[in-house]
Amino acid sequence: MTDLHIISEQTVALPNTPYQARHFINGVAQDSADGRKSDRISPSHAVLVSQAGLGSDVETEAAIKAARAAFDDGRWSRLSGKARAAVLNKVADLIEANVEKLALIETLESGKPIAQARGECGGAADLWRYAASLARTSHGDSHNTLGSDILAVVLKEPIGVVSIITPWNFPFWILSQKLPFALAAGCTCVVKPSEVTPSTTAMLAEMLVDAGLPAGVCNIVLGYGNPVGSLMSTHADVDMVTFTGSTAVGKQITKSAGDTLKKVALELGGKNPQVIFPNCDLESAADAVTFGIYFNVGQCCNSSSRIIVHEDIADAFLARVVEMSGRVAFGNPLHPDTQVGAIVTSEHAAKIDGYVRAAVAAGAEVCIGGGALSVPGLGGQFYQPTVLRGVTADMAIAREEVFGPVLVVLTFRTLEEAIQLTNDATYGLSAGIWCDDIHTCLEFSRRAAAGTVWTNTWMDGFPEVAFGGVKQSGQGREIGSYGFDEFLEVKSLVMRVGRTRAPWVKKA
């Protein structure tokens, strides 16, 4: 068994008191009407991190009503792009000024390393600034070739009230992939973060006020999917729902939203492959595979949880990944050198372990890991870096989203077989190929059923480049100009110049 690099000491202090996360409705932070709260215990340190309001129909109805009024009276939707951009840029400045505060609470609620949380919270400011640029540059089309007496323009207008439902694995980052783009388009919003990681979303409310966002334009309701998320998905005054989370919940939202024919954008699960050919930079590929499976403890929709390796190099490449796995720093999220932290809940840790045990029972071989990880002095919600070989394509662990630090290894002989294995999944979020032959890379990229394909890299992303999946990984796109367009409706305006319209009714 490879020795593991475990960090138990910490350099960042725990807060003295739990953060109090409150709803934010019509510009006012408030507790639940019935006073109910939920406690979040840190998965890494087993201490009370935060207490958050538990919303009901009362808070959700009030938030939707405020967003509807704010949209209809034009206090935001009719502002110039320049005015909206100014507010979004101020929010970006405030995010950067509060990175340490945001990162600490996100680390403690989610279990992710403090260095990663700093990068995500600080990096989110770039998403807000890019969205601000789109607010100023958005435009429609004109058609002046329809005849000398006709001028037509195609307008882009905000879709209306948007319900934004975000997950626990990247609370602030994914919020920033949605909210600033909806606001840039002129929409008003109701936001529900995960009840597991609510605090950074609640903390954003104060920044929105300080940046000058009008009351009612963005409202935040904390609590569970039922009733809060359910009402946000079905309410007649909501025009669109954007959701990131599990495929099962995404399907339910689509069904519920169908009764009012509201638009739905979904970013769901993935079972993302990296295909490894012999003629590539194998050291870089092994590093990318190691990063792709252990980043965020594998609790990432883009996790490369299966690799498809050419038979000629499978043993050597696998040995390289196993050796690198032992050098990844697992442990205390409050140490800046930690690369992989804790599993979000004990229930999820048990689910991950269940997948591993089932695969071993079906004939898979554990190359490293395969069980809980003990970190001295900390809670028990850590899991070892795990690599399984001898996996067949029909095993659940090769087809279903484990959402943990568990890598499965499949092999191939031909490009055709590699493509077949890549597309033999209900998901289609991301895929990658490592090969020095540009023709092979291009053919794979064009034929892989995935919303994003990386060649000779993994998980490089930019605010300008759209993100989303195909098949059961979702519908619609986030970020980039395509993600911005999700929040816009297209309206055609046809104008006749002069009294040139021919009468339809014949003269008497």
**Beta strand 427-428 pairing with 263-267:** unpaired
| DSSP secondary structure of 147-163 | -TTEEEEEEEEE--EEE
Q: Which of 106, 267, 401, 478 is catalytic?
A: 267
SS (H, E, C) 266-295: EECCCCCEEEECCCCCHHHHHHHHHHHHHH
State CA 502 to chain mean position distance. 54
d(CA 119, CA 99): 9
Q: Are 114 and 14 in contact (CB under 8 A)?
A: no
Contacting residues for 272 by C-beta, under 8 A, at least 6 apart = 292, 302, 303, 304, 305, 306, 427, 429, 430, 431, 432, 450
State CA 245 to chain mean position distance. 8
**Beta strand 273-276 pairing with 5-7:** unpaired
Structure tokens that stand for 266 in this block: 């979904």
Q: Is 267 a catalytic residue?
A: yes
d(CA 155, CA 142): 9
3-state secondary structure of 506: coil
Q: Which of 187, 280, 301, 441 is catalytic?
A: 301
Residue from 4, 2, 3 nearest 338 by CA: 4
Q: Does an H or E element contain 94, and which?
A: helix 81-97
With tokens 């800046």, the residue in question is 336
Q: Are 380 and 353 in contact (CB under 8 A)?
A: no
Beta bridge partners of 389: 365
What end-to-end distance do the CA atoms of the chain give, in Å?
98
| DSSP secondary structure of 408-448 | EEEEESSHHHHHHHHHSSSEESEEEEE-S-HHHHHHHHHHS
Q: Are 359 and 390 in contact (CB under 8 A)?
A: no
Amino acid at 75: R
Q: Is 301 a catalytic residue?
A: yes
> Annotated catalytic sites, by residue?
267, 301
